[in-house]
Amino acid sequence: MTGSRGGTTVRSAVVLGGGGFLGRHIGSVFRQAGARTLTVSRNAAASATVRAAALDLSTAPPERLAELLAAERADVVVNAVGRVWGASDAEMEDANARLVRRLAVCLTAMERPPRLIQLGSIHEYGPGTPGTALAEDGEARPDTAYGRTKLLGTHTVLDTVRDHPHVEGVVLRVANALGPGAPRGSLFGSIAHRLAEGARPQIPARPAVEPGLPEPATVVLTLPALRVCRDFVDVRDVADAVLAAATATEVSGRIVNIGSGRPVLVRQLVERLVALSGLPVRIDPAGESGGAGGGAALWQQLDISLAHKLLDWTPRRDPDESLCALLAAA
């Protein structure tokens, strides 16, 4: 893998949560860059092209994590573990905060620890001000359990780097991710799978008089008003940012926003997804308000200028690319 991490070539990467939405794409981009890559998750499945290790990260002690990282001679470890959709507060605490603390203990005990890239969340900021982008030095005021537990993870990484000079770590604070493989529990993942199901031809019990497949039935989506503006970024652009952070200098101990830098009305993005599907769809209202991705903040927009400065990174994919890839995967 070309590039260097503080003057040292990055040859080996470990992706925790490598079986998840973000983790799968991050593992792929490291492999494409030529790095020896190990993805770690509870139900990991290796293949001819993917090296994987099965480990329950919710209970793995720091010593086990240290053994794994040492065996891999890892230069970089990416923490892509996270719980939000369908998770209790306690489950979010375990995945988003306690795991990071165990990982920090593991790294501080190693003589030459790998650089830690922690995936944070835009929801750590809490509600934004309409017309204003959220910068890394702004106050974090999370208003959801997800945002609060992710912020605890961020504090753990920054405190560890501050108190242990031999540990390198950076937090990438990621906007709402879109793209292929979005989980069913997410707003856009659930809609894409519903549209995919509606696209499957319904074969009648008796043959039709005229040959040919029947037209797809109208898909009914029951959704809240979704009158919120959010920052969305393609999951593949997030993976590119992680790769850049693995070799960038002057990022340790920093928070770096990763997003599009543009607010989008969620309702309009849903309507665009429906239009791209080409299906007959009726959207029925389910309420007067609604959000996406773990909170009810009416406006969230990231300032991504620091990512361009420190990582030489900008998002390359537009929303249509993300939505089309999401539909194709579903």
* Cα angle, residue 40 at apex, residues 244 and 326 outer, rounded to 5°: 65
Q: How deeply is 283 buried, as exposed, middle or buried, from its count of CB atoms within 10 A (0-12, 13-18, 19+)?
A: middle
Token reading at 285: 């209202």
Gap between the Cα atoms of 216 and 37, Å rounded: 43
Question: Which stretches does DSSP call E strand in the chain?
Answer: 12-16, 36-41, 51-54, 76-79, 115-121, 169-174, 176-178, 219-223, 229-234, 254-258, 263-265, 281-285
**Cα dist from 75 to 3, 100, 165, 181, 240, whole Å:** 12, 18, 16, 27, 17
Give the residue from 249, 126, 174 showing the smallest Cα distance to 23. 174
Count of CB atoms within 10 A of residue 16's CB? 28
Gap between the Cα atoms of 308 and 152, Å rounded: 26
Is 146 catalytic? The answer is yes
Count of CB atoms within 10 A of residue 42's CB? 14
Contact at 8 Å (CB) between 42 and 94? no
> Which member of 21, 30, 125, 146 is catalytic?
146
Residues 141-153 as b/e (b if ≥16 CB within 10 A, e otherwise) read ebebbbbbbbbbb
Gap between the Cα atoms of 145 and 290, Å rounded: 17
- Active-site positions read 146
